[in-house]
């Protein structure tokens, strides 16, 4: 189930607000709901409000199509299940028609912005589900090992057969803890010099009551010493890993929280890989997160003079919503260009840099004019100043100009 | 920053009113003045529609063309332009608030947010007879920055560079727009799609930077 469009008649700063959430003409998935959406915009434009709107469970008030007239003027969310070929609308006042029931509405999964501020202690949400799988796996593994051990003295022929079966079982049914660590969490945690502790001894309840983290050197890190960024990654991963969502809507508020830029460039694909055929909505202030999206997947909210908001289009509306008409593509922009072109930052540096650049330009001009007028020693001194300043400003000299 | 000739007075009614006030000007108030648009549009005519300092296009020629004046009064009720009336020397605003010599039309953000009440040096007053951009300034075609002519005395260079900063000529958003405009022109000339002369005729803004680039790159 994915959202195809959204219409809000009157809700906070949204007035007669329409959102097309399908791929544009000319795209391989033209007309289908977007797989992922990135909502950007100044604080107060309603990014989180949009997520909350999508997260709201339907209140069933009307079940008869006779009530269509009542609900028509109100806003709606247009859902589509491409597998079942069903498309239907959820109206603001809770109207659910026949098609909606067929759609088997599944409430979206909401990942809050402040996930990393929570604790990894006991009763960790979703850990219990994962640990059940780990315990079951462990019990099965011990049972199989015991059975094999018995065969060592009784039946050598069957022993080989059972060993082969055991190896096959291990291949097909991966250890959930190893899977969680090797295939998901450790890919990010290793950048913090951390990993998930996989060698649990199961002797005490405390050993498995929460996820254990250790340094890459194998030293356990107590939960209260883990950074907010580390907890953010773990606490946002566990719900998706435990639920293994399929065909669901996943709402993510500020996925960049407490994460260093290099991690921000990876995090969108990281979350998507934890799910199957889900539709993601990310609300973000991060240009690095935005750089992971196709231009039609970006919903940039902007204020109108009257305080209501609209979606900034990245294509010429008169020419139509076609991939060829888009003039911005965040995937192809440098980070600084994303800041100025998507996030509307009207300058590319502090003004202190401008004065230093003027100094650099003056030095360059003096060097150009100095041929035959000053000694080689003086010229070398001038060039040393130029070179030092160019390095400080991270400026690359282009001899062509 | 181009040299601006402000001797052509189209808003003659305003000019007579200004001269009649002598050195005792009415309090400057842009919002309820009958002569506000007369001053702004006459200046835009003198400035060829661009900001006096950054040379960014602020107004369409249709709006400031001479045909918009009748009997010394500008005729459009609410002309479209993006800019603000700037008092070059802010200290004169209190007593000589309507002085023609002290007025320029500038980018609104330069006027409102950047230049404000900073003290100025007449060395870069674009309507003075002594002002010549090609003597006082240089343009770096890589960085797209104006700097003082490095052949001038060091102390003069400092005064000019300080004024470049005060007038917002090298603010990063200004540089970005100027660079973006000019670097769209250069490849057309390089690939012989058009010539410097053709581009000069079509060019509506950043005249000084354009000309300095032409002198360097042509």
- The answer to whether A360 faces chain B, any CB pair under 8 Å, is yes
Please check whether residue A335 lies inside any domain of the structure.
yes
Option in A348, A369, A398 nearest B172 (CB)? A348
Residue A165 in domain: yes
pLDDT at A113 (0 to 100): 79
Q: Are residues A164 and A269 in the same domain?
A: no
CATH number for the domain spanning A21: value is: 3.40.50
| Minimal-distance CA residue of chain B relative to A355 | B165
* Domain count along chain A: 3
What's the DSSP call for residue A24? Answer: P
Contact between residue A330 and residue A342 where contact means Cβ atoms under 8 Å apart: yes
B171 closest CB neighbour out of A340, A351, A362: A351
> Which whole number is the average pLDDT over A270-275?
95
Indicate if the pLDDT at residue B218 is higher than 90. no
Cβ of B147 within 8 Å of Cβ of A365? The answer is yes
ipTM over 0.90: no
Percent of chain A with pLDDT over 90: 54
Residues in A closer than 8 angstroms to B217, CB to CB, are 401
What the block records as the tokens of B20 is: 């009649």
Based on the domain organization, do A111 and A255 belong to the same domain?
A: yes
Amino acid A97: pLDDT = 59
Would you tell me how many other CB atoms lie within 10 Å of the CB of residue A307? 9
In terms of residue numbers, what domain contains A356?
A: 351-392
Please name the residue ranges forming H helices in A244-317: 261-272, 287-290
Q: Which residues of A touch B175 (CB under 8 A)?
A: 354
Residue A105 pLDDT > 80, yes or no? Answer: no
Q: What is the mean pLDDT of residues A155-174?
A: 85
Whether residue A68 is contained in a domain is answered as: no
Q: Do A111 and A256 reside in the same domain of the chain?
A: yes
- Shortest CA gap B183–chain A (Å): 12
Which residue numbers of B have CB closer than 8 Å to A's CBs?
138, 140-143, 145, 147-148, 150-151, 157, 161, 164-165, 170-173, 175-176, 217
pLDDT on residue A103: 67
Distance CA(A361)–CA(B68), nearest Å, equals: 43
pLDDT of residue B206: 98
If asked whether residues A111 and A258 sit together in one domain, one would say yes
Taking an 8 Å cut-off on Cβ atoms, the answer to whether A369 and B150 are in contact is yes
Q: List Cβ neighbours of A343 (8 Å cut-off, separation of 6 or more).
A: A40, A287, A290
List of E strands, A224-303: 249-253, 279-283, 298-303
Q: How far is CA A285 from each of CA A31, A232, A252, rounded to the nearest angstrom?
A: 28, 16, 12
Cα A8 to Cα A13: distance, rounded to the nearest angstrom: 10
Domain boundary residue among A193, A225, A257?
A: A225
The verdict on residue A303 lying in a domain is yes
State the nearest Cα–Cα gap between A104 and chain B, in angstroms.
Answer: 51
Distance of CA B61 to the CA centre of its chain: 15
With CA atoms as reference, the chain A residue closest to B216 would be A401
With an 8 Å Cβ cutoff, are A358 and B145 in contact?
yes
Residue-wise pLDDT for A183-241, tens only, equals 999 999 999 999 999 887 667 767 778 899 999 999 999 988 999 999 999 999 999 99
Residues A296 and A324 in one domain: yes
Q: What is the pLDDT of residues B67-84, one digit of tens each?
A: 999 999 999 988 999 999
Establish if A397 belongs to a structural domain.
no
Residue B172 near residue A347 (C-beta atoms within 8 A): yes
pLDDT value of residue B217: 87
Q: How confident is the model at residue B129 (pLDDT cuts 50, 70, 90)?
A: very high
Instruction: Report chain A's mean pLDDT, rounded to a whole number.
Output: 87
Task: Inform me whether the pLDDT recorded for B57 exceeds 90.
Answer: yes
- In the structure encoding, which two tokens stand for residue B86, read together? 């700037």
A90 within a domain of the structure (yes/no): no
Token pair in block for residue A199: 């060698």
pLDDT digits (tens, 9 = 90+) for A114-151: 877 778 876 677 888 888 888 888 888 888 888 888 88
pLDDT of residue A364: 92
**Average pLDDT for B28-51:** 89
pLDDT of A155 reads: 78
Asked if B164 and A358 come within 8 Å (Cβ–Cβ), the reply is yes
In this model, does residue A280 exceed pLDDT 90?
yes
In a domain, A88, yes or no: no
Least confident of A209-218, A352-361, B28-37: B28-37
A285: buried, middle or exposed (CB in 10 Å: 19+, 13-18, 0-12)?
middle
Query: Is 60 exceeded by the pLDDT of residue B111?
Result: yes
Residue of A365, A366, A394 to mutate, interface with B, max B Cβ within 10 Å: A365
Q: What is the pLDDT of residue A63?
A: 47
The residue from A341, A360, A376 where one domain ends is A341
- For residue A102, the model assigns a pLDDT of 66
Judge if A215 and A255 occupy the same domain: no
pLDDT at B44: 97
pLDDT for residue A71: 45
CA–CA dist A277, A35 (Å, integer):
8
Q: Is position A180 within any domain? A: yes
Chain A window 325-344: which residues touch B at a Cβ cutoff of 8 Å? 340
- pLDDT 10s digits, A239-269: 999 999 999 999 999 999 999 999 999 999 9
Average pLDDT over all residues of chain B: 94
Query: What's the gap in Å between the CA of A386 and the closest CA on chain B?
Result: 14
Check CB contact of A347 with chain B, cutoff 8 Å: yes
Q: For residue B16, how many other CB atoms are within 10 A of its CB?
A: 12
Mean pLDDT is lowest, of A119-133, A265-279, B80-94, B154-168, for A119-133
Q: Are residues A251 and A111 in the same domain?
A: yes
B199-214: pLDDT as tens digits: 999 999 999 999 999 9
Please report the pLDDT score of residue A401 as a whole number.
43
Asked if A285 has any chain B CB less than 8 Å from its own CB, the reply is no
Contact A361 B141 (CB under 8 A): no
Lowest-confidence range among A50-64, A161-175, B167-181?
A: A50-64
A13 and A111 fall within a common domain: yes
Mean pLDDT calculated for residue range A78-103 = 68
Instruction: For residues A336 and A356, state if they share a domain.
Output: no
pLDDT band at A350 (very low <50, low <70, confident <90, very high): confident
Residues A363 and A331 in one domain: no
Answer whether B140 sits within 8 Å of A361, measured CB to CB: yes
Q: Which stretch of A147-161, A249-263, A337-351 has the lowest confidence by average pLDDT? A: A147-161
Given this model, what pLDDT does residue A87 score? Answer: 72
A369 touches chain B (CB under 8 A): yes
Q: Domain ends where: A225, A256, A278? A: A225
Q: Tell whether A254 and A208 lie within a shared domain.
A: no
Return the pLDDT at B157: 97
Tell me the C-alpha to C-alpha distance, in Å, between residue B118 and each of B89, B90, B107, B167.
8, 7, 16, 9
Give the number of other CB atoms < 10 A from CB of residue A145. Answer: 11
Residue A95 in this model has a pLDDT that exceeds 60: no
Tell me: do A215 and A266 sit in the same domain. no
pLDDT tens profile A39-70: 999 999 999 999 998 888 766 555 445 555 44
Regarding predicted confidence, which is higher, A383 or A79? A383
Q: How many CB atoms lie within 10 A of CB A217?
A: 7
């Amino acid at each position: 189930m994915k959202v195809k469009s959204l219409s809000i008649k009157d809700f906070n700063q949204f007035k007669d607000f329409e959102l097309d959430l399908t791929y544009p003409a000319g795209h391989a998935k033209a007309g289908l709901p977007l797989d992922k959406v990135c909502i950007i915009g100044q604080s107060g434009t309603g990014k989180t409000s949009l997520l909350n709107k999508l997260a709201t469970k339907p209140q069933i008030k009307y079940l008869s199509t006779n009530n269509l007239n009542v609900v028509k003027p109100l806003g709606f969310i247009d859902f589509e299940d491409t597998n079942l070929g069903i498309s239907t609308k959820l109206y603001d006042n809770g109207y659910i028609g026949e098609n909606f029931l067929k759609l088997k509405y599944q409430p979206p999964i909401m990942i809050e912005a402040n996930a990393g501020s929570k604790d990894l202690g006991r009763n960790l949400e979703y850990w219990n589900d994962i640990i059940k799988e780990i315990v079951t796996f462990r019990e099965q593994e011990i049972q199989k090992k015991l059975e094999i051990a018995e065969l060592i003295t009784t039946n050598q022929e069957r022993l080989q057969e059972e060993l082969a079966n055991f190896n096959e079982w291990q291949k097909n049914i991966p250890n959930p803890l190893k899977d969680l660590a090797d295939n998901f969490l450790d890919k990010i945690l290793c950048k913090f010099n951390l990993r998930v502790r996989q060698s649990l001894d199961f002797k005490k309840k405390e050993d498995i009551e929460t996820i254990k983290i250790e340094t890459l050197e194998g030293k356990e890190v107590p939960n209260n010493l883990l950074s907010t960024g580390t907890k953010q990654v773990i606490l946002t991963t566990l719900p998706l890993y435990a639920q293994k969502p399929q065909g669901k809507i996943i709402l993510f508020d500020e996925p960049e929280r407490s994460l260093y830029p290099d991690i921000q460039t990876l995090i969108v694909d990281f979350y998507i890989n934890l799910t199957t055929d889900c539709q993601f909505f990310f609300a973000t202030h991060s240009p690095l997160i935005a750089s992971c999206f196709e231009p039609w997947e970006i919903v940039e909210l902007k204020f109108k003079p009257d305080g209501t908001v609209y979606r900034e289009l990245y294509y010429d509306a008169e020419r139509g919503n076609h991939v060829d008409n888009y003039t911005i593509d965040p995937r192809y922009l440098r980070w600084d260009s994303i800041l100025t072109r998507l996030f509307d930052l009207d300058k590319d540096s502090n003004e202190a840099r401008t004065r230093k650049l003027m100094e650099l330009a003056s030095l360059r001009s003096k060097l150009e004019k100095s041929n035959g007028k000053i000694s080689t020693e003086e010229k070398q001194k001038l060039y040393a100043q130029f070179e030092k300043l160019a390095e400080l400003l991270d400026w690359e000299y282009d001899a062509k100009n | 920053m181009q040299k601006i000739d402000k001797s052509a007075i189209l808003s003659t009614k305003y000019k007579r009113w200004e001269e009649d006030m002598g050195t005792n000007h009415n309090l400057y108030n842009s919002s309820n003045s009958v002569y506000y648009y007369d001053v702004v549009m006459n200046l835009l005519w003198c400035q060829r529609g661009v900001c006096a300092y950054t040379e960014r296009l602020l107004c369409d020629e249709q709006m400031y063309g001479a045909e918009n004046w009748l009997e010394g009064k500008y005729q459009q009720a609410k002309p479209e332009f993006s800019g603000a009336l700037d008092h070059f020397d802010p200290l004169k605003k209190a007593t000589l608030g309507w002085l023609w010599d002290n007025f320029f039309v500038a980018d609104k953000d330069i006027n409102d947010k950047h230049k404000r009440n900073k003290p100025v040096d007449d060395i870069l007053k674009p309507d003075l007879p002594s002002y010549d951009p090609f003597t006082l300034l240089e343009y770096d075609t890589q960085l797209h920055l104006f700097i003082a002519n490095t052949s001038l005395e060091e102390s003069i260079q400092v005064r000019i560079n300080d004024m470049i900063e005060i007038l917002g000529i090298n603010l990063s958003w200004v540089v970005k727009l100027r660079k973006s405009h000019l670097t769209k022109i250069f490849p057309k000339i390089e690939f012989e799609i058009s010539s410097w002369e053709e581009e000069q005729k079509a060019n509506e803004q950043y005249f000084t930077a354009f000309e300095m680039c032409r002198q360097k790159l042509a």
